[in-house]
Amino acid sequence: MKMRCSLIAAALFLCATVSALAQAPPLALPDASPAASVTGRAGLTDIAVTYHRPSVNERAIWGALVPYGEVWRAGANQNTVIAFSSDVTIAGQQVPAGSYGLHMIPTAGEWSVVLNRESRAWGSFFYDEKEDQLRFPVTPRDSPMQEQLLYTLDEPGDNGLTVTMRWEKRAIAFPVVVDTPAVVAASLRTQLRGLSGFTWQGFAQAASWCARHDVNLEEAQAWAERALTMNENFTTLRARALVAEKRGDAGLAGSLRAKALTVASEADMNAYGYQLLQTGKTDDAIEVFRHNVEKYPASWNAYDSLGEGLALAGKKAEAAEQYRRARSLVKDEANQKRIDVILARLGS
């Protein structure tokens, strides 16, 4: 009896073990067409391509493995997917933000690139032309041998980039254009309804950005006035002046800038001077730094900044003089050594 119970128990254990083994997941092994993705940003717009990478593997590709005149998934396995976080323009047509199945129709000459609203299908097997968002022609170009299919996002900039597919010795490329000022303006509206909407800094920054990029100026004026109401200071006065200038009110802009100078701190003026330097307005920056030196004659940093501006303008002798004044006032050893190096470079 005891022997029979042991045999039954052993049999049950064996059955359970076999059942568990049957349910075990398959081992992870390399995929013949591995998954890949590439992402980029133009301004505030995120652009991504998700795909699988087939290999040439010594096969004839164009007109053979990938037939001419047929819709191709532009990759392997599931849909190749292209996604945009905001509206973009491709081939002169607007494409709403979202994810799209990316397909291509190769030929011996001009190809067609297709963005299809169905992005979750398996390859092009369930492709339906009625769901196309956009179809446009592209001429392929010769390219160095590419064994595994590859997508890259080339020539990135604030206003777009170029999507390029390379495989075998062919490349297909098309530009994606982004209206970044409009995208940023919309983003600012949203951000100002969050925590930033409780701060004068948020409204001043939003107004200044729009004015510098000459976009959304009416709303930018409202934002600048809101910032001034919350806290009248150098930054908010400058923001309102910048919007006024862009809207053609030079008189108001001038009076606001003059008022801003009367309330500016040393740090305000120093930051403003460097902002002018970064935009290539070196002479204007030097005047701001001079004003700071006159107002804060005991500040080594004011002389240091004036010296930098003068050096950039090629006025080495005067720059060296300002750096020597900074060196005589600074107590920090690291900045003493830095200024010594600059003076040596200026030949002083």
Tokens of 315: 């006025």
Domain ranges (residues) in the chain: 35-178, 181-326
Q: Look up the CATH superfamily of 181-326.
A: Tetratricopeptide repeat domain (1.25.40.10)
Average pLDDT score over residue span 284-302: 93
* C-alpha span between 146 and 171 (Å, rounded): 9
> Is the pLDDT at 28 greater than 90, yes or no?
no
pLDDT tens digits for range 187-241: 999 999 999 999 999 999 999 999 999 999 999 999 999 999 999 999 999 999 9
110: Cβ–Cβ under 8 A, 6 or more apart, which residues?
137, 138, 139
Q: Are 74 and 41 in contact (CB under 8 A)?
A: no
pLDDT tens digits for range 157-180: 999 999 999 999 999 999 999 999
Buried b (16+ CB within 10 A) or exposed e, 217-230: bebbbebbbbbbeb
How confident is the model at residue 32, as a pLDDT? 85
Instruction: Kindly report the pTM of this predicted structure.
Output: 0.78
**How many angstroms from the chain centroid is the CA of residue 296?**
39
Report the greatest alpha carbon distance in the chain.
110
Tokens of 240: 């309102």
pLDDT band, very low/low/confident/very high, at 12 (cuts 50, 70, 90): low
Measured CA to CA in angstroms, residue 312 lies from 88, 196, 223, 309, 346 at distances of: 40, 36, 35, 5, 11
Closest to 227 measured CA to CA, from 244, 243, 245, 207: 207
Average pLDDT score over residue span 293-322: 93
pLDDT tens digits for range 138-160: 999 999 999 999 999 999 999 99
